[in-house]
Structure 1
Amino acid sequence: MRLKGLHHISMITGNARANFDFYTKVLGLRLVKKTVNQDSPYTYHLYYADEIGNPGTTLTFFEIPDAIRGSKGYNSIARVGLRVPSDEALAYWEERLTMFHVKHSGVYEQFDRNVLDFEDVDGLSVQLISDRRNEGVAGGTPWEGSPVPSEFAIIGLGPVLFSTLKKEKTDRVLSKVLGFDRMGAFEDDEKLVTVFQVGEGGNGAEVQLEGNFKDAHAVEGIGSVHHVAFRVEDDAELREWVEYIQDLGYPNSGFVDRHYFHSLYFREENGILIELATDGPGFKTDFEKERGTYVELPPALENRRAEIEAHLTELDTDI
């Protein structure tokens, strides 16, 4: 069993309209699926990705308008990464974010790579990272309809930062359970950050881990990360992971059918929720161009369409 890299990252937003406008009109990602939270179908679940939603390119958001505001701290996924093709692309993004009045750090070097930090409309911490020196997992294909030129466009997920109180426990899960390799370390805000990569490696297969003794415990809510998913080849391998994680005694979901992929969820010892997800079937199972107000539902929920749509706020996603 060998994980292949990042699959998707899921966050919480308080406003689907503001979220859609930011991720499509500012960041230039494609809304590949407008569907609902399968565990709470009266709320939206929005998927943004590359042209066809390739594994390793997808950000997903649960809309929970009544959720509390999340707060940063330890035992959380403190930052998500997005890959861009080059240092020149980072310079473009520095200008673009300024144009849209998005506060950002400016470009700086971190672990021998150029990066740029900013926050989205909900306060989620995001880092753009240049793929100029990247070797490993390939990026995706930019959306042809994006307002961002393809040579500067976001091409996939980059490193995610785990911030934990008991760093050694998460280190053990990454290296001993999930098979990540330690690639080195760097200093960030007076914290030592260890860099791990898996599979082919590279920016699309990286987790960064810091020990956090400075902050309070993170609070999950609007503007925070719900979970991160890593890529598994197929159902057969996922079932091996299910058995393995259960044998180790981690609280877990067992095999779960998410329609677009199949999953296993478990919490590591600092409480971070990790998902292992298959590459297929993929979004192309019912993929087509955006259809305005249409909400796509998995087959198990289709017979409840009228009921579900009655509870959803209107969200026209034509751009």
Structure 2
Amino acid sequence: MPDASLPGVHHITALCGDAQENLDFYVGVLGLRRVKTTVNFDDPTTHHLYYGDAAGRPGTTLTFFPWPRATNGRGGAGMVRTVAFAVPPGSLAHWRDRLAAHGIEAEDKTYFGEPRLHFSDPSGLPLALVATAPVEDATPWTDGPVPADRAIRGLHAPVLPVFSDDRTAALFTDVFGWPRTGTDGDRVRLQGPGTGVGTAVDLLVRDRHPSGRMGRGTVHHIAFRAPDSEAQRAWQSILREHGLQVTDVKDRHYFRSVYFRDPTRTSGLLFEIATDGPGVHVDEEDTALGQSLALPEHLESRRAELERALPTLSVP
């Protein structure tokens, strides 16, 4: 095993419809901070919107590619089922009322002894707010519409559908070193070695899952944290030694990424290992995070073209 562990989830990236609708919901309703407004580096005429805590830390970030012309997706095998956020204990009544005031119906559920609200975003992405133990190093965004004592802390255990005869659980336990910490019906919780938010996943283990279809309201990939590039390279080698096809390192400006997907070892889900740094502050001061279009150096010469092609976004 490499010297560095994978502490937890780095970020989750999903697909949505209208960019402004997405921004209005995640900032105006859920109270997250927009920490980066950039573009899809593989398709720079498409926005890439980042939402997170006050500092945009790994473990708090949900990002989106807006595809307004795309058809609705269908959740199922090969994609994250539910994106969950951690909120303070005792805050769910407030959240239920807040969601209802915005015309959003939420369903009460409990897994692993944690009460939660389940609902969907405007593009149909399944979400959950989970009342869980306070996080000491939490830095919730407090300049938004949600009071600090109720604000989202970061990502909580996302739900990954896996097949009962796949080896995905063994990838986490035997390769990642994430032990099983509980079972609730057909859900298995796996706990990473990090502290704070975004340090667990829930596997939804079933003999069958419906087939998924990528589109609006579905998750494109889930990324796990590597502390630095050295640790990432070590994991790249380890995964290849276990027979997984891992990409070369991709420079995503705010982090470095490698990707892998396997029919049984990841149950068809696209996994990424992303470095913690350099982070969202590499090209913007803290007070300016997310407020204007940020471009990597290799796209800066196309700024005028891209600004004309991209929709204008207004603060909710």
TM-score (norm. length: structure 2): 0.92
1:146 is the counterpart of 2:144: yes
Which structure has greater strand proportion?
1
Whole-angstrom distance in 2 between the partners of 1:210 and 1:258: 30
Whole-angstrom distance in 2 between the partners of 1:293 and 1:262: 23
Cα distance per residue 1:261-316 (max 9 Å; x no partner): 11111113321011111111111112333489731111121111122222212222
1:263 is the counterpart of 2:257: yes
Task: Give the deviation of 1:227 after TM superposition.
Answer: 0.8
Whole-angstrom distance in 1 between the partners of 2:58 and 2:229: 15
Aligned residues between the structures: 309
TM-score (norm. length: structure 1): 0.91
Whole-angstrom distance in 2 between the partners of 1:65 and 1:212: 33
Match of 1:19 in 2: 22
Match of 1:226 in 2: 220
Match of 2:101 in 1: 99
**Is the CA contact 1:238–1:278 (under 8 Å) kept in the aligned structure 2?**
yes
Segments of structure 2 that go 5 or more residues without pairing to the other structure are none
Task: Give the deviation of 1:52 after TM superposition.
Answer: 1.6
Whole-angstrom distance in 1 between the partners of 2:221 and 2:242: 20
Whole-angstrom distance in 1 between the partners of 2:227 and 2:311: 36
Match of 2:282 in 1: 285
Moved over 6 A (4+): none
Query: Root-mean-square deviation (CA), in Å?
Result: 1.9
Letter in 2 for 1:29: L
- Which deviates further from its counterpart, 22-31 or 201-210? 201-210
Cα distance per residue 1:15-50 (max 9 Å; x no partner): 101000000000001111010001110000000011
Whole-angstrom distance in 2 between the partners of 1:248 and 1:73: 26
Task: Give the deviation of 1:69 after TM superposition.
Answer: 1.2
Letter in 1 for 2:15: I
Whole-angstrom distance in 1 between the partners of 2:281 and 2:61: 14
**Is the CA contact 1:293–1:314 (under 8 Å) kept in the aligned structure 2?**
no
Match of 1:58 in 2: 61
Task: Give the deviation of 1:68 after TM superposition.
Answer: 2.4
Whole-angstrom distance in 1 between the partners of 2:44 and 2:203: 33
Match of 2:200 in 1: 206
Whole-angstrom distance in 1 between the partners of 2:175 and 2:313: 41
- Which deviates further from its counterpart, 264-273 or 230-239? 264-273
Match of 1:174 in 2: 172
**Is the CA contact 1:14–1:65 (under 8 Å) kept in the aligned structure 2?**
yes
Task: Give the deviation of 1:115 after TM superposition.
Answer: 1.3
Whole-angstrom distance in 2 between the partners of 1:231 and 1:292: 22
Whole-angstrom distance in 1 between the partners of 2:212 and 2:117: 23
Whole-angstrom distance in 2 between the partners of 1:200 and 1:224: 27
Letter in 2 for 1:158: H
Whole-angstrom distance in 1 between the partners of 2:301 and 2:77: 42
* TM-aligned CA distance change 1:177 to 1:249, over 3 Å: same
Whole-angstrom distance in 1 between the partners of 2:111 and 2:219: 22
Which of residues 12, 19, 38 is equivalent to 1:35? 38
Letter in 2 for 1:84: V
Task: Give the deviation of 1:219 after TM superposition.
Answer: 1.1
Which of residues 61, 67, 79 is equivalent to 2:70? 67
**Is the CA contact 1:31–1:290 (under 8 Å) kept in the aligned structure 2?**
no
* TM-aligned CA distance change 1:66 to 1:252, over 3 Å: farther
State the identity %. Answer: 39
SS at match of 1:54: coil
1:126 is the counterpart of 2:127: yes
- Which deviates further from its counterpart, 146-155 or 291-300? 291-300
- Which deviates further from its counterpart, 302-311 or 16-25? 302-311
Cα distance per residue 1:117-157 (max 9 Å; x no partner): 1111111111111123x6xx755311231100000000100
Segments of structure 1 that go 5 or more residues without pairing to the other structure are none
Match of 1:3 in 2: 6
Task: Give the deviation of 1:3 after TM superposition.
Answer: 0.7
Whole-angstrom distance in 2 between the partners of 1:201 and 1:193: 22
